[in-house]
Chains A and B, each alone.
Chain A
Amino acid sequence: MFADYSSTELMSIFAMQGFAGLSLFSVFVLMAMGLAIIFGQMGVINMAHGEFMILGAYTTYLTSQFFQNLMPELFAASFFFAMVLAFLVSGALGAFVEWAMVRHLYRRPLDTLLATWGLSLILQQAYRSIFGAREVGVDLPDWMMGAFNVTDFVQLPINGLFVMVIALSIALAVYLLMYRSGWGKKVRAVVQNRPMAEAVGINTAGVDRATFALGCGIAGVAGSAFTMIGSTGPSSGQAYIVDTFLVVVFGGAQSLVGTIISAFGISQAQSTMEFFLSGSMAKVLTLLVVVGILMLRPEGLMALKVRR
């Protein structure tokens, strides 16, 4: 498939597709960070993760509508406000779902998967009833429009760059929280040995709830960022859920670095192949390769060896 192109052309193609892939990379990282906490650290399969993200996106949509109509002078800053709000709204719903549903199912991960799938059906239909089946878009403030011109034909859109910055900051924040803070230590203690954690005085139920809510809140921020590069529909979250789970599993469920590497690898592979094949075949090939590698190396890219 490379035969028809000269080597300089190939280089430019790879560069261009590489930048396109970075946008997909941001989406993967944003979604995967929440999942890395909920699935990687707690071992809970949250199939409604995409819907928590979309909740953040709709929150952002409503916030920007509010600012546009009532306080247009502050519109340029509305995104920052929306992101905080998205975090709170999705996090609050997450805490409620943990209390009502997930906490009864910690010993039955497969059942959690089914129950959260049911939740995702309900949420999707709720979005459809409230916001309509059509996708909604958020108007970007002026400072986010435009692009940097790197070379004559390589351009970097500012909104894409901004989203990537958000994605990487969230990843850094999650890393610091999970591995460098006392609270992260508690979370990991609860995951590794629940009875022992209880015995040393950790409020495990509280930690569970907070962790789940945090993961959902991060999904909300992800959704908020998502509105800057794409429009939002009731089932936009569903579209990414399988890919995201593969990203997390492929990276090695417990490793944040692994998650980021695998998000990068998968998004780059897909967007590079998209140039040579049709979009669907690129996706099929990427997923096949990931599934194939997972069959050969089920523990993922980065894995700890543990004495069992």
Chain B
Amino acid sequence: MNAQKENFLLAVEGLTVSFDGFKAVDDLSFYLDPKEIRVIIGPNGAGKTTVLDLICGKTRATAGSIRFGGKELTKMKEHQIVHAGVGRKFQNPSVFEDLTVFENLEVSYSQGHTVMGALAFKRDAAVVEAVESIAETIFLSDQLNEPAGLLSHGQKQWLEIGMLLIQKPDLLMLDEPVAGMSVAERKKTAELLRVITRDHTVLVIEHDMQFVGDIADRVTVMHQGKVLSEGSIEHVKQDPKVIEVYLGH
């Protein structure tokens, strides 16, 4: 078992967190292969976002382990987890509205992360090139010098995804990336995700079953903090337990 475990990029085992006795995540285990696209679905309050919070260190686990590429994440600080290669996008777009798109991406660039490093940081050709190439991927080449506060909701979502990409993470975690988007923006986002998924491992929370079917390798269904079902999209769609608590409604 142990030798096998090392093949997973992310191994979550027995993960539990309780808030004053209420177990938001309860003895949860799942495993992610490298380059896998995994989607977590489940009714509201199932603990999906809390799982992402636990992996990226925003919330501390009460029990259990999260092993990522051989490192135990539950003991690490948030910025160390980022440096280990985990990127996290929040449900509501959180970009730096007072900074330009260029500066948003530059802040996320994987250099100058210490106080002294940030003082000495120089905007050299490599930085500009990295920022411009990401901007093209996220359809924002023309907005590079605009304050991020002026972008549309969808553009902010893309920018935040771009800010993750420029960190070059091994694991990308996206919390409802198409929520609140127009149909056109949804299409473009699906396109963007397809590009990203070529060379990243991705963990997505999503409600849109059409979208899930489009991108997922495997689906994990959560309910009341536990795994209800896991497998391909067809498998979970036919699972009677899933139909009862989630899809049936």
Q: Do chains A and B touch in the complex (CB under 8 A)?
A: yes
List A residues at the B interface (Cβ < 8 Å): 304-308
For A304, what are the chain B residues with a Cβ–Cβ distance below 8 Å?
A: 20
**Once the chains are docked, how many angstroms separate the CA of A141 from the CA of B2?**
83
For B20, what are the chain A residues with a Cβ–Cβ distance below 8 Å?
A: 304-305
Q: Which of B45-91 contact A (CB under 8 A)?
A: 50, 59
Question: In the complex, which residue of chain A has the Cβ closest to the Cβ of B17?
Answer: A307
For B19, what are the chain A residues with a Cβ–Cβ distance below 8 Å?
A: 305-307
Residue B24, interface by CB 8 Å: yes
Whole-angstrom distance from the CB of B19 to the nearest CB of chain A?
4
**Once the chains are docked, how many angstroms separate the CA of A222 from the CA of B37?**
63
Question: In the complex, which residue of chain B has the Cβ closest to the Cβ of A307?
Answer: B19
Count chain B CB atoms within 10 A of each CB in A305, A306, A307, A308 and give the residue with the most. Answer: A307
**Once the chains are docked, how many angstroms separate the CA of A305 from the CA of B24?**
13
Q: How large is the interface on B (under 10, 10 to 19, 20 to 34, 35 or more residues)?
A: under 10
* Leading 4 A-B pairs by shortest Cβ distance: A307-B19, A305-B20, A305-B19, A307-B24
For A305, what are the chain B residues with a Cβ–Cβ distance below 8 Å?
A: 19-20
**Once the chains are docked, how many angstroms separate the CA of A306 from the CA of B22?**
10
**Once the chains are docked, how many angstroms separate the CA of A61 from the CA of B42?**
65
For A306, what are the chain B residues with a Cβ–Cβ distance below 8 Å?
A: 19
Whole-angstrom distance from the CB of A305 to the nearest CB of chain B?
5
**Once the chains are docked, how many angstroms separate the CA of A306 from the CA of B59?**
11
**Once the chains are docked, how many angstroms separate the CA of A167 from the CA of B20?**
32
Given contacts A305-B20, A307-B24, A307-B50, 6 further A-B contacts (CB under 8 A): A304-B20, A305-B19, A306-B19, A307-B19, A307-B22, A308-B59
For A308, what are the chain B residues with a Cβ–Cβ distance below 8 Å?
A: 59
List B residues at the A interface (Cβ < 8 Å): 19-20, 22, 24, 50, 59
Question: In the complex, which residue of chain B has the Cβ closest to the Cβ of A305?
Answer: B20
**Once the chains are docked, how many angstroms separate the CA of A304 from the CA of B24?**
16
Question: In the complex, which residue of chain B has the Cβ closest to the Cβ of A308?
Answer: B59
Question: In the complex, which residue of chain A has the Cβ closest to the Cβ of B50?
Answer: A307
Question: In the complex, which residue of chain A has the Cβ closest to the Cβ of B58?
Answer: A308
**Once the chains are docked, how many angstroms separate the CA of A305 from the CA of B60?**
13
Whole-angstrom distance from the CB of A282 to the nearest CB of chain B?
37
**Once the chains are docked, how many angstroms separate the CA of A304 from the CA of B19?**
10
**Once the chains are docked, how many angstroms separate the CA of A308 from the CA of B22?**
13
**Once the chains are docked, how many angstroms separate the CA of A243 from the CA of B20?**
31
**Once the chains are docked, how many angstroms separate the CA of A208 from the CA of B59?**
32
Count chain A CB atoms within 10 A of each CB in B19, B24, B50, B59 and give the residue with the most. Answer: B19
For B50, what are the chain A residues with a Cβ–Cβ distance below 8 Å?
A: 307
Whole-angstrom distance from the CB of A304 to the nearest CB of chain B?
7
Question: In the complex, which residue of chain B has the Cβ closest to the Cβ of A304?
Answer: B20
For B59, what are the chain A residues with a Cβ–Cβ distance below 8 Å?
A: 308
Whole-angstrom distance from the CB of B57 to the nearest CB of chain A?
14
**Once the chains are docked, how many angstroms separate the CA of A307 from the CA of B59?**
9
Whole-angstrom distance from the CB of B66 to the nearest CB of chain A?
19
Question: In the complex, which residue of chain B has the Cβ closest to the Cβ of A306?
Answer: B19
For B22, what are the chain A residues with a Cβ–Cβ distance below 8 Å?
A: 307
**Once the chains are docked, how many angstroms separate the CA of A305 from the CA of B50?**
15
Whole-angstrom distance from the CB of B172 to the nearest CB of chain A?
23
Chain A to chain B contacts (Cβ below 8 Å), 9 pairs: A304-B20, A305-B19, A305-B20, A306-B19, A307-B19, A307-B22, A307-B24, A307-B50, A308-B59
**Once the chains are docked, how many angstroms separate the CA of A27 from the CA of B104?**
51
Whole-angstrom distance from the CB of A234 to the nearest CB of chain B?
42
**Once the chains are docked, how many angstroms separate the CA of A307 from the CA of B20?**
9
Whole-angstrom distance from the CB of A49 to the nearest CB of chain B?
31
**Once the chains are docked, how many angstroms separate the CA of A307 from the CA of B19?**
6
**Once the chains are docked, how many angstroms separate the CA of A291 from the CA of B50?**
33
Question: In the complex, which residue of chain A has the Cβ closest to the Cβ of B21?
Answer: A305
For B24, what are the chain A residues with a Cβ–Cβ distance below 8 Å?
A: 307
**Once the chains are docked, how many angstroms separate the CA of A307 from the CA of B23?**
10
Whole-angstrom distance from the CB of B183 to the nearest CB of chain A?
26
**Once the chains are docked, how many angstroms separate the CA of A305 from the CA of B19?**
6
**Once the chains are docked, how many angstroms separate the CA of A304 from the CA of B22?**
13
Question: In the complex, which residue of chain A has the Cβ closest to the Cβ of B53?
Answer: A308
Whole-angstrom distance from the CB of B3 to the nearest CB of chain A?
37
For A307, what are the chain B residues with a Cβ–Cβ distance below 8 Å?
A: 19, 22, 24, 50
**Once the chains are docked, how many angstroms separate the CA of A307 from the CA of B21?**
11
**Once the chains are docked, how many angstroms separate the CA of A307 from the CA of B24?**
9
**Once the chains are docked, how many angstroms separate the CA of A307 from the CA of B50?**
9
Whole-angstrom distance from the CB of B114 to the nearest CB of chain A?
24
Whole-angstrom distance from the CB of A192 to the nearest CB of chain B?
15
**Once the chains are docked, how many angstroms separate the CA of A239 from the CA of B47?**
48
